[in-house]
Structure 1
């Protein structure tokens, strides 16, 4: 058994940990107040992974969640004490070779006065992005379908200045200024 590679980042109410395992099966995630236990088997190599993490701070196990995709398992650890920054994921200061900071999602939230979404809305949003990334990489889905799905989701989230999807097909048939004939080159 070996640890799975993981990335993490901190938010005001939660800490997110993404275990980078493709085609995982038998995924088990257990949350305790000060510990997290992750295990799975990778589908391609049938390698058993297990990560037992003694956490820097305490979490609320009942409010912590995880979601599996084809490429990773994303865990949302709800902090027991919201608003307290975690300088690292683990209790121990020793460097773990399987763990890195997710700089693409890292945000210095201590300077923000308020956040526009609750942490679980953000978790759902992250899961939607992961799902869309999987759709984009699947050849059977066209880009137009994905854009329409995105617009519909944004409309349902309360986007006021987004185009209405009703009649989107009619707009596509109409000519616009970009359809004019280009002048010949001299």
Structure 2
């Protein structure tokens, strides 16, 4: 009998890699986390054993990682050994398993965020500089004189 795998979503952050193993009505969920791999197993609603093994792209801190369990899924928060280093993929192998997908709802391209913010700040400063270096507004004292003379001409 072929091994069933849980559909797994993952996303990357500066300090953590997040994985969600999607198995509704799961029971007997177990997560074995080591510095280079994770083994997840549980039983699905039909009592069938589901198992995923992931060899990580890079080393993780297995002592400072957690998992959160619900009836619909098991989410793992795995602390990266080297923070602020983006992972181009979750697995060591360059081949993506069919059960593994990027969680685009939570994915954020955090690499270069500081550079992007700096560009926005510089752009905003440039706009403020342009606004503050404008010439003074025109003097409009003579408008009152023109409107008075126009009213007098209309009344005459």
TM-score scaled by structure 2? Answer: 0.70
* Cα deviation, residue 2, structure 1: 1.4
In the alignment, structure 1 segments of 5+ residues that lack a partner are 114-186
Alignment of 1:1-186 (within 5 A): 1-42=3-44, 44-113=45-114
Which one has a larger percent strand, Structure 1 or Structure 2?
A: 2
1:17, 1:112 → 2: CA distance?
22
* Runs of 4+, deviation exceeding 2 Å: none
State the structure with more CA Rg. Answer: 2
2:91, 2:79 → 1: CA distance?
15
Larger relative contact order (Cα-Cα within 8 Å, sequence gap ≥ 6):
2
Q: Secondary structure at the match of 1:16?
A: strand
Q: Secondary structure at the match of 1:3?
A: coil
Cα deviation digits, residues 91-145 of structure 1 (max 9, x gap): 00112000000000000111223xxxxxxxxxxxxxxxxxxxxxxxxxxxxxxxx
Residue matched to 1:139: none
1:111, 1:95 → 2: CA distance?
25
2:5, 2:12 → 1: CA distance?
21
Q: Secondary structure at the match of 2:20?
A: strand
Considering only aligned residues, what root-mean-square deviation do their CA atoms show, in Å? 1.3
In the alignment, structure 2 segments of 5+ residues that lack a partner are 115-156
